[in-house]
Amino acid sequence: MVTGFEAGLLALSFLVPFLLLVFGFPPYLRLLTRLGRVSEDVHKTPTTKVPEPAGPMLFAGALAGEFLVAVGLNSWVPIAIMLGAGVAFVVGLWDDLYVLGGKTKPLLLLLAGLVFVGFILFKPNLYDPVLSFPILGDTSAHFTIYTVLAVVAFPVVANAFNMMDAFNGEISWFTLLTSIALLVGVTLHDVTTAGFSLARVGATLPLVAVAGAFLLFNRFPAKAFDGDSGSLMFGGMFAGLAITGGVEIAAMIAILPAILNSFYTLSSVRGFVERRRMPSRPTYIGKDGLLYASSEAEAPTTIVRLVLLGGPLSEKDLVKNIIALTGVAVLLSMVISVLTWVF
């Protein structure tokens, strides 16, 4: 049973990062504009300038929420999550400021997984090396293979989030919906498993709060871009929360559109290629202002290009389609969570 103190703390772990971002973003975005840190919104005609990167503000918000959970519930779980997400954030910020190569970024992101997994030398009960399947139950413990997969999960998930960051509101909607699926899974795990720490539920709330607050500034027409520092941090946090929450399967299902998008992109351009160095773009803007699927053979295949093969769309409608695909994946993920933890 959750005590009044714990319920209050859970509420604060959502409200503090949410309000911090809602009130902190306007002055931060004015500062970015004053410093000349703006990027062209290439999907508008004429193009507009949008402050970037919002990643540092997002990281600050997440850090505040996780700090509350760590101190209030006396848990090391939020610390481990923010260590992994922190490395992903630093790699992203480096990319925002100096641009990293297509292969350097995933290699550096392995450090996020290594730091996270290395933390279990300090706190051995950080995660359980088993996977829980719906109806069929748990696998036996496989520490070595699970740990290797946990390390690899960080670059894979962080890059998958990064590749879902192309249009106004896309990354914020995607992170918000998938983090809600994660919250449902971790909460059901907590409610149905004796001795499962409430801190794992609390650690999920700052991600929901940060994504929700960012959506207010990132939705069409965007007033802020997160940059790689924001999207990689979202991915790093998501991976850490899925592993510590023991909801790896449900989490993997929730981000299926991003996994498919990465798979299509990597298989069509045959490897890790930095997006600014790709030979051509997957979409283009017609003179009517609508987005079209590129018909160039060397253009990368992305989930957006596949959606646009059905006909041109405005940026706003395109993002609605991506949200719908994410919604289906989130529903499947919630079904998996219910089948795993309730039945």
Cβ-based nearer residue to other proteins, 91 or 160: 160
Which lies closer to other proteins via its Cβ, residue 150 or residue 307? 307
* Token pair for 79: 């610390």
Q: Can residue 257 be called a binding residue for other proteins (CB under 8 A)? A: yes
Q: Of the candidates 23, 123, 263, 277, which one interacts with other proteins according to CB under 8 A? A: 263
Task: Rule CB under 8 A: say whether 330 interacts with other proteins.
Answer: no
Peptide bond into 279 cis (omega under 30): no
Q: Tell me if 292 contacts other proteins by CB under 8 A.
A: yes
For residue 341, state whether it binds other proteins (rule: CB under 8 A). no
- Least distance from other proteins to the Cβ atom of residue 269, Å: 14
Q: Does 277 bind other proteins (CB under 8 A)?
A: no
| Contact flag: residue 259 with other proteins (CB under 8 A) | yes
Angle, alpha carbons 10-70-19 (nearest 5°): 50
Burial readout 214-224 (b: 16 or more C-beta within 10 A, e: otherwise):
beebbbbebeb
Residue 256 near other proteins by CB under 8 A = yes
Task: Output the smallest distance, CB 17 to other proteins, in A.
Answer: 30
| 142 is an interface residue for other proteins by CB under 8 A | yes
The reply to whether omega before 221 is within 30° of 0 (cis) is: yes
**Residues that contact other proteins, how many (by CB under 8 A):** 39
**305-168-52-281 Cα dihedral, nearest 10 degrees:** 20
**For 241, phi and psi rounded to 5 degrees?**
-70, -40
By CB under 8 A, the residues from 143 to 182 that bind other proteins are 145
DSSP letter at 101 equals -
Q: How far apart are CA 291 and CA 167, in angstroms?
A: 11
* Beta bridge partner(s), residue 314: none
**Residue 336 interacting with other proteins (CB under 8 A):** yes
Taking the least distance from each CB to other proteins, the nearer of 86 and 282 is 282
Measure the CA–CA gap between 278 and 276, rounded to whole angstroms.
6
Q: What are the tokens at 202?
A: 């609390």
Closest alpha carbon to 238 in 323, 174, 319: 174
- 124 belongs to the binding site for other proteins (CB under 8 A): no
Give yes or no for residue 87 binding other proteins (CB under 8 A).
no
Q: Does 290 bind other proteins (CB under 8 A)?
A: yes
Would you say 230 and 50 are in contact if contact means Cβ atoms under 8 Å apart? no
Q: Does 120 bind other proteins (CB under 8 A)?
A: no
Residues of this chain that bind other proteins (CB under 8 A): 131, 133-134, 136, 139-140, 142, 145, 249, 252-253, 256-257, 259-260, 263-264, 267, 286-288, 290, 292, 295, 301, 303, 306-307, 309-312, 321, 324-325, 328-329, 332, 336
